[in-house]
């Protein structure tokens, strides 16, 4: 009964709210609000802004519930704001230990909500439940020892009575996992190791004991299909990143999507995008769930634009590979074969003098969210074009220290780097339109029922594009790099769009 109540509390979304990291369990990042549309978006104006001093990247994706917005600030704080005015209601400041091991900044991407609680994953690898009314800690559990290189940066996902959350640390020789904790008591209910141990399926894909330091972190929020009761999570790179010599084999379940029973954490299927990766092409992109007719029959599909440069379509009930096609320039694979396995080109592995390969180390896209609009039926991705130089080096493991095994350089090969917002046909991956960006973007996308796509640029421009043809309908310079995804919510004064940029959170509306 309690479970049902929680489920209802979680899913009974008012249109005005934004309850999940990616808006819904299918990870569409699509708002059903349609007051702001391609016809009037040219009149968007600032409704309010919240700014804070911070020395890190502002990657938050807000949650909005019952007129209150919850955002995270780097390194690990939570702020509650009045969604209408931006007035601060409370703050939670986390004291972190002095030496946190993170590859890419002391950042956080947002909270999850269920009933009267918020859930925050922390850089010292804890999961914290806060009282939604005042920010007080309800419970605080340690997932693992952060001193070994573990951290947590993504917004958790609440499914029924559990909070699902994974660990980052793919550059530190961790052994990745995904955990589920009880919403009420914070007790661990299950753990799925993304790197299988001895005797477990897939352990044989790691030479010797390399599985112990195999990485495969989880650092972006998964999705969930209530009918199948499966939750889907993209996993990160194998460790060490650019040195495959010490971990011969396919290295399951790195660079994969895993489909797990949400109640037990049991693996139902997996699909590996980049077996034995030596280019740091994590599969930590949002995995989007859509239902479409595919080759003559209705299918439950999972689609994703992967960091390795290919767009994939899978059957999400079975994991069957259905389609892949490049959505950015890539030079590493001849093709993806009928089973979904890449057929690699020669001469793409890192060398002592460096080898130039497309896509760049940060990939054709990265953690920045895609969007899916059920009305246009298109999949939208913020794409990154360009190459990197990949080098070999030594891999020496030391507890809690970086374990990358080599390095990359971009400086000498950036002449053709750029980006684009691309609309793809979700079944064929074919390009429908594109809006070119001067630099490769780190900002995610938002789709709205007003047929708009919101996007951000490295230079700080926030844009609204017509979702049907990619025409620019509005833009503003927000004065700082955008490294976050927009959301949309509603208040008494109408639909709003929110985006973090620089050191501020900016909220736009039609200004009634």
Partner 1 sequence: MRLLLLVVGSVALLTAQIRETNPFTSEKDLAEGKRFYRFYCINCHGTDGASGRGARLATKSHRVGNSDRELYQSIANGIAGSEMPGHWLDEDTIWKILTFVRTLEGSAKETCSFDEAAAERGRKLVRANGCLGCHSVREGGENVGSGRMGPDLSTMGASRPREHLKESLVKPHAQVAEKWRMASVSTAAGMKRGMLLNEDGYTIHLLEPDGRIVSLGKQGVGAVERSRESSMPAYDKLPANQIEDMVSYLCSCRGGSR
**In the complex with partner 1, which residue's Cβ is closer, 294 or 407?**
407
Determine the Cα–Cα distance for residues 325 and 385; give it in Å rounded to an integer.
Answer: 15
Determine the Cα–Cα distance for residues 46 and 48; give it in Å rounded to an integer.
Answer: 6
Determine the Cα–Cα distance for residues 40 and 145; give it in Å rounded to an integer.
Answer: 51
Determine the Cα–Cα distance for residues 336 and 271; give it in Å rounded to an integer.
Answer: 13
Nearest distance from C-beta of residue 108 to partner 1, angstroms: 17
Q: How long a stretch of residues is the chain? A: 512
Q: Is the peptide bond before 253 cis (omega within 30 degrees of 0)?
A: yes
Residues in contact with partner 1 by CB under 8 A are 53, 55, 98-99, 104, 171, 391, 393, 401-402, 407, 411, 436-439, 457, 459, 461, 475
Quick check: 223 and 25 in contact, CB under 8 A? yes
* Phi and psi at residue 158, to the nearest 5°: -95, 125
3 state SS for 144-170:
CCHHHCCECCCCCEEECCEEEEECECC
**In the complex with partner 1, which residue's Cβ is closer, 165 or 362?**
362
Residue with the two structure tokens 């994991």:
319
Structure tokens at 341: 């396995």
Task: Find, among 182, 148, 176, 147, the residue nearest to 164 by Cα.
Answer: 182
Q: Is 280 a catalytic residue?
A: yes
Nearest distance from C-beta of residue 439 to partner 1, angstroms: 8
**In the complex with partner 1, which residue's Cβ is closer, 341 or 402?**
402
Buried-exposed string 127-159: b where 16+ CB fall within 10 A, e elsewhere: bbbbebeebeebbebebbebebbbbbbbbbbbb
3-state secondary structure of 296: coil
**In the complex with partner 1, which residue's Cβ is closer, 185 or 416?**
416
Structure tokens at 372: 């899916």
Determine the Cα–Cα distance for residues 403 and 174; give it in Å rounded to an integer.
Answer: 9
Q: Is the peptide bond before 147 cis (omega within 30 degrees of 0)?
A: no
Query: Phi/psi zone of residue 202: left (φ > 0), alpha (ψ -120 to 50 degrees), beta?
Result: left
**In the complex with partner 1, which residue's Cβ is closer, 171 or 225?**
171
Determine the Cα–Cα distance for residues 430 and 4; give it in Å rounded to an integer.
Answer: 41
Nearest distance from C-beta of residue 72 to partner 1, angstroms: 18
**In the complex with partner 1, which residue's Cβ is closer, 96 or 138?**
96
Nearest distance from C-beta of residue 377 to partner 1, angstroms: 28
**In the complex with partner 1, which residue's Cβ is closer, 257 or 473?**
473
**In the complex with partner 1, which residue's Cβ is closer, 3 or 104?**
104
Determine the Cα–Cα distance for residues 159 and 354; give it in Å rounded to an integer.
Answer: 45
Structure tokens at 260: 């797990």
Nearest distance from C-beta of residue 366 to partner 1, angstroms: 14
What is the end-to-end Cα distance of the chain in Å, rounded?
43
**In the complex with partner 1, which residue's Cβ is closer, 16 or 404?**
404
Determine the Cα–Cα distance for residues 313 and 480; give it in Å rounded to an integer.
Answer: 35
Nearest distance from C-beta of residue 101 to partner 1, angstroms: 8
Nearest distance from C-beta of residue 401 to partner 1, angstroms: 6
Q: Write down the catalytic residue from 17, 161, 277, 280.
A: 280
Determine the Cα–Cα distance for residues 474 and 469; give it in Å rounded to an integer.
Answer: 14
Which uninterrupted H or E stretch holds 364?
none
Quick check: 192 and 177 in contact, CB under 8 A? yes
**In the complex with partner 1, which residue's Cβ is closer, 138 or 401?**
401
Determine the Cα–Cα distance for residues 107 and 219; give it in Å rounded to an integer.
Answer: 11
Nearest distance from C-beta of residue 166 to partner 1, angstroms: 22
Residue with the two structure tokens 């990616």:
22
Nearest distance from C-beta of residue 423 to partner 1, angstroms: 18
Quick check: 313 and 294 in contact, CB under 8 A? yes
Nearest distance from C-beta of residue 2 to partner 1, angstroms: 43
Active-site annotation, residues: 280
């Amino acid at each position: 009964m309690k479970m049902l109540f929680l489920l209802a509390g979680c899913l009974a979304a008012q249109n005005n709210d934004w309850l999940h990291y990616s808006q819904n369990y299918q990870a569409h990042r699509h708002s059903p609000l349609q007051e702001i549309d391609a016809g009037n978006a040219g009149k968007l104006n600032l409704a309010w802004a919240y700014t804070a001093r911070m020395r890190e990247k502002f990657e938050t994706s807000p949650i909005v519930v019952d007129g209150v917005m919850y955002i995270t600030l780097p390194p690990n704080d939570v702020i509650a704001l009045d969604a209408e005015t931006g007035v601060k209601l409370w703050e939670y400041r986390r004291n972190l230990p002095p030496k946190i091991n993170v590859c890419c900044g002391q950042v956080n991407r947002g909270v999850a909500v269920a009933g009267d609680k918020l859930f925050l994953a922390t850089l010292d690898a804890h999961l914290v439940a806060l009282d939604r009314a005042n920010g007080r800690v309800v419970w605080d559990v340690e997932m693992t020892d952060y001193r070994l290189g573990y951290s947590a940066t993504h917004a958790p996902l609440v499914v029924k009575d559990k909070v699902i959350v994974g660990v980052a640390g793919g550059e530190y020789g961790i052994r990745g996992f995904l955990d589920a904790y009880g919403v009420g008591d914070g007790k661990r209910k299950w753990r799925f190791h993304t790197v299988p141990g001895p005797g477990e399926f897939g352990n044989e894909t790691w030479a010797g004991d390399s599985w112990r330091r195999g990485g495969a972190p989880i650092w972006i929020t998964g999705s969930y299909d209530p009918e199948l009761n499966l939750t889907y999570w993209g996993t990160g790179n194998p460790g060490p990143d650019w040195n495959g010599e010490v971990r011969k084999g396919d290295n399951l379940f790195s660079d994969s999507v895993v489909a797990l029973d949400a109640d037990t954490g049991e693996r139902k299927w997996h699909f590996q995008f980049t077996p034995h990766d030596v280019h740091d092409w994590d599969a930590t992109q949002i995995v989007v769930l859509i239902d479409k007719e595919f080759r003559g029959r209705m299918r439950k599909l999972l689609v994703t634009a992967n960091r390795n440069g290919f767009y994939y379509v899978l059957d999400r009930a079975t994991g069957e590979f259905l389609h892949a096609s490049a959505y950015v320039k890539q030079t590493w694979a001849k093709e993806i074969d009928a089973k979904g396995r890449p057929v690699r080109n020669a001469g793409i592995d890192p060398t002592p003098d460096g080898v130039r390969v497309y896509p760049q180390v940060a990939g054709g896209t990265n953690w920045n969210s895609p969007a899916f609009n059920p009305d246009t039926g298109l999949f939208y991705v913020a794409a990154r074009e360009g190459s990197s130089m990949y080098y070999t080096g030594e891999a020496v493991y030391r507890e809690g220290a970086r374990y990358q095994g080599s390095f990359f350089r971009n400086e000498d090969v950036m002449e053709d780097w750029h980006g684009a917002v691309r609309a793809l046909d979700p079944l064929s991956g074919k390009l429908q339109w594109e809006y070119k960006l001067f630099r490769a973007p780190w900002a995610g996308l938002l789709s709205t029922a007003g047929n708009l796509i919101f996007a951000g640029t490295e230079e700080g421009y926030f844009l609204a594009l017509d979702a049907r043809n990619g025409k620019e309908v509005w833009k503003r310079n927000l004065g700082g790099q955008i490294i976050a995804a927009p959301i949309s919510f509603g208040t008494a004064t109408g639909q709003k769009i929110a985006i973090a940029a620089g050191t501020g959170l900016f909220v736009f509306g039609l200004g009634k």
